[in-house]
Structure 1
């Protein structure tokens, strides 16, 4: 069953892939949806697409924000815009992500995967907590991955270069570890946090560029994101990892289940070490 209450939902990285599909599904269900993209023209085009299918309260409440998530200053500017524009936020879906890229290093000398996939949602979420606290029961959905690998803190700090696969897997573990810690931090504010692997090798542009093949439809990922955002089924779930891959080893569109992330995501000492290094990196950027 799905909550019969109109929600205000922000989805990052929603001009393409499963983020866009989730936005379409949520607007069609009558929710107020705010999109995000780094290209203003593409964002405007997708907003128009989402507006065309919107129903109920969503009809006049579809809009978006422009920000380049490889630039954390831009991320904080977007957060300020969101805080100014919205009175509350019921669901924050940190969907924006990057795998392959022609330019792996940001202007701050960091690997773009660590920035877009971890540091940007970290900064955005913390800046939007006041809005989330205005909701009766907010949810944060963080897009993890089946690919999770132990973090090199030299790589996080930009002191060591990684290949695409390792950078992506390490950044996704960082996001997952932080999700577990965040859930504990905001539990008193009645905010739920779930990390989710939406499914391996979904039929999206990012997967096509990285692998040139897919196992499951993009709808599989969009469907679980939609359910995690608004379904009553997940109303009391927090500090958990949803693995949308099928557990019998086959590939298809059937839904997964809650599972165990990488061991580091359940290790309090490892999570504390991540937080320490994260703060060091952020201080070096904003010093």
Structure 2
């Protein structure tokens, strides 16, 4: 077991991009807190990384349930007194068809997992990130971004898996920009990225049946925002793979950010 003080929390670490990022980080001198929804998959990850240089800790929660999101924050706080990096990687893809699904709280599932869970978890973990300053929040978003219909955020009308997924990632990026404005860049930075296009993950194969970029492209993109010293103090940015890029134009709008923030607080019960 190492004695490093650098602590990274990675959500969605048991499969796909998250698992590949976890495998790479496990070979570094870090304390790695890995989140997953399934206890058996978490146990498998722990077993396979048992001999890795990193100190591995496990936390379990279903991010479609806000009660479990809050418990996750408490569990992390019991494991560490600070965080250096928080990586919001866990997510739900477009799905195999256009069946509309709801979270445990009755919210559209993709909005709940891909945006509301990170929104609530970030608020609960900000004290640990501030203690770990200078720290980083990394939002694993997507180039697929579609503005939210604030009159119908749960897509009761006109639902499609593509629309739900793109709306949730639009929300993640928009909130990242808004949050970055409230935090000192030498304390906590907040950046979002499109890691790669249609990587060979189960989520992509289920939704699209084809791949474009390899998994290493996505891993390197996420690691760039976690580790690159050249990004010290860089905040409120969106990256496409490893290059600064423009997100959807409406993600930058102050009024859109305000309305999303207000909606998110109302739905989660979290107050920043």
With structure 2 as the length reference, what TM-score do the two structures score? 0.92
**Residue in 2 that maps onto 1:247:** none
Give 1:224 deviation, angstroms.
1.3
Give 1:227 deviation, angstroms.
1.9
Q: Distance in 2 between matches of 1:179 and 1:14?
A: 21
Q: Distance in 1 between matches of 2:34 and 2:100?
A: 25
**Residue in 2 that maps onto 1:270:** 256
**Residue in 2 that maps onto 1:175:** 172
Distance 1:150 1:156, change over 3 A: same
1:211-232 deviation per Cα after TM superposition (whole angstroms, max 9, x unaligned): 0110111111111111211121
Distance 1:64 1:155, change over 3 A: farther
1:32-63 deviation per Cα after TM superposition (whole angstroms, max 9, x unaligned): 111111111111111222333x22xx2xx201
SS where residue 51 of structure 1 aligns? coil
Equivalenced residue count is 265
Whether 1:90 and 2:84 are equivalent positions in the alignment is yes
Q: Distance in 2 between matches of 1:279 and 1:7?
A: 30
Q: Distance in 2 between matches of 1:34 and 1:260?
A: 31
Partner of residue 225 from structure 1, selected from 203, 222, 225 = 222
**Residue in 1 that maps onto 2:39:** 40
Q: Distance in 1 between matches of 2:169 and 2:57?
A: 28
Give 1:272 deviation, angstroms.
0.6
SS where residue 88 of structure 1 aligns? coil
Does the 8 Å CA contact 1:118/1:175 hold for their aligned counterparts?
Answer: yes
Give 1:189 deviation, angstroms.
6.2
Q: Distance in 1 between matches of 2:84 and 2:105?
A: 32
1:36-75 equivalence runs, <5 A:
36-52=35-51, 54-55=52-53, 58=54, 61-75=55-69
1:1-287 equivalence runs, <5 A:
7-52=6-51, 54-55=52-53, 58=54, 61-99=55-93, 100=95, 104-157=101-154, 159-160=156-157, 162-187=159-184, 190-244=187-241, 256-283=242-269
Distance 1:32 1:203, change over 3 A: same
Does the 8 Å CA contact 2:100/2:161 hold for their aligned counterparts?
Answer: no
Distance 1:6 1:24, change over 3 A: farther
| Structure 1 vs Structure 2 CA RMSD | 1.9
Does the 8 Å CA contact 1:111/1:161 hold for their aligned counterparts?
Answer: no
SS where residue 156 of structure 1 aligns? coil
Unaligned runs of 5+ residues in structure 1 are 245-255
Does the 8 Å CA contact 1:27/1:51 hold for their aligned counterparts?
Answer: no
